[in-house]
Amino acid sequence: MSGMTDDVIEGKVSETQFRRAVVWLAGSRLSGTLLAQLLLVPSALLITLVAKAI
């Protein structure tokens, strides 16, 4: 992102492209966090089942 910021300042990349990249970056981080939260509880339950079986 810092490289792209420099490119915007130098005029190599448009502000529209930069804003789109920022939105995609924020969206991907949010979706990754939500996916991790969805997998956390089932994974913890699986670990407890395996631990009880041992």
Chain centre distance of CA 45: 24
Non-local CB neighbours of 1 within 8 Å, separated by 6+ positions: 21, 22, 25
Q: Give the pLDDT confidence score for residue 28 in this predicted structure.
A: 97
This prediction has a pTM of 0.66
User: What is the C-alpha to C-alpha distance for residues 40 and 25, in angstroms, rounded to an integer?
Assistant: 22
DSSP conformation letters of 1-54: -HHHHHHHHHTSS-HHHHHHHHHHHHHHHHHHHHHHHHHHHHHHHHHHHHHHH-
Q: What is the pLDDT of residue 1?
A: 84
Domain boundaries, the chain: 2-53
Q: What is the pLDDT of residues 1-54, one digit of tens each?
A: 889 999 999 999 999 999 999 999 999 999 999 999 999 999 999 999 999 999
